[in-house]
Amino acid sequence: MAEKKELNTMRNQRETETHDKLSRRKPWSPVKKLDTPPPPDGYEYRWIRGSFLGQEDANNISYRMREGWEFVQASSLPDGWDLPALGEDKGRLAGVVHNEGLFLAKIPVETIAERRAYYEGKTSQANEALDNTMFNESGKDSRYVKYDSKRESQVTFGKK
């Protein structure tokens, strides 16, 4: 009888036990190598090349940092996102989320909009300069045709 009393006192409280409902196994699915959690409000995530053919790409890392990208620390990810991070021996990149030579980085959405506007302006200037150069030099030469994105053409085969 004494043994039976001992068994009863060794029982765990029902609240401390984990139930199948709380710890269900997730079904298998293919690995998404570049999957990321949702970025914080006002930021966008992107994977940045950190190495190429096994060699650190310091030029790309430094260029992206000057461009405004900040590397994401594994400790700042939301719960449930256990992505690999670099070890303490990596200096300034210690704790940064990485995946097969790529680093997870974030940048403010405003910076992306400014960057996009800058490059759209540069493209517009280059197209305008090209059109002006072609028409100024063409004179009698009819090989140059100004590109008009609104221009439409029809192709017919043997119809009159």
pLDDT of the chain, 160 residues: tens digit per residue: 555 555 555 555 555 555 555 667 878 888 777 888 889 899 999 999 988 888 888 899 999 999 999 998 888 887 777 776 777 666 777 778 888 888 999 999 999 999 999 999 999 888 888 777 766 655 555 565 666 666 676 777 776 6
Distances (CA, A) of 60 to 84, 92, 100, 104: 21, 15, 16, 13
Residue 124 lies in a domain: yes
pTM over 0.75? The answer is no
pLDDT of residue 155: 72
Residue 84 lies in a domain: yes
Residue 131 lies in a domain: yes
pLDDT of residue 146: 60
Residue 82 lies in a domain: yes
Q: Is 61 exposed, middle or buried (0-12, 13-18, 19+ CB in 10 A)?
A: buried
Residue 51 lies in a domain: yes
Residue 89 lies in a domain: yes
Residue 70 lies in a domain: yes
pLDDT of residue 110: 95
**What total number of domains does the chain contain?**
1
- The alpha carbon of 154 is separated from its chain's Cα centroid by a whole number of angstroms, namely 41
pLDDT of residue 75: 83
pLDDT of residue 51: 86
Domain that holds residue 88: 43-135
pLDDT of residue 69: 93
